[in-house]
Amino acid sequence: MSRIGKQPIEVPTGVTASVDGQKVSVKGPKGELAFVATDDVEFAVDEGLISVKPREETNRSRAVWGMSRTMVANLVEGVTKGFERKLEINGVGYRAAVQGSNLQLNVGYSHEVLFPIPDGITIATPKPTEIVVSGIDKQRVGQVAAEIREYRKPEPYKGKGIKYADEYIHRKEGKKK
């Protein structure tokens, strides 16, 4: 039995959830999101709660059960609070700035890197060495943050590069004479 899948999802006030077959749609103050699940699980909405149950007792339906519940819980959280990932830039002369619909990165290349900001994602730079990626879709926020990090991953000797704010860089010792 899935411990996560058993728990019902609370729908806060101001948020409407509807189930149409295998498609769950959630609409809230920040926007509207939808998730289409496999045929192995079924959804039910009653009085501010969304419950997820497996259709059969097969291994596949039990494996998809908890993941489907988590996906719908992320939809509800996304339309109410939203998600954000913070990135930090370390290195001399490394900085970031938002210019129009592009994120401009100076991360040690001979040219500036321009990253186009996708629709539904907001990027802010409170400091030149800090990037905040936010949006209502958890998967897209994480994907955009990973794409920005790819431009200059942190290296293990000096720690220069773009890293997540909560990431620990395992440092290596340099050469010895």
Paired tokens of 31: 């926007």
pLDDT tens column, 57-101: 888 988 899 999 999 999 999 999 999 999 999 999 999 999 999
Q: Is residue 175 part of a domain?
A: no
pLDDT at site 1: 60
The low-confidence residues of the chain, meaning pLDDT below 70, are 1-2
Residue 46 phi/psi, 5-degree rounding, is -145, 125
| Residue-range definition of the domain harbouring residue 50 | 3-80
Predicted model pTM? 0.89
**Is the domain of 67 the same as that of 98?**
no
Q: Is residue 69 part of a domain?
A: yes
**In the chain, where does DSSP find H-type helix?**
3-6, 59-80, 138-150
**Is the domain of 94 the same as that of 113?**
yes
pLDDT at site 126: 95
- Residue 158 contacts residue 164 (beta carbons within 8 Å): no
pLDDT at site 176: 86
End position of a domain, from candidates 46, 80, 114: 80
End position of a domain, from candidates 80, 110, 130: 80
Under DSSP, the state recorded for 59 is: H
pLDDT at site 131: 96
> What is the count of structural domains for the chain?
2
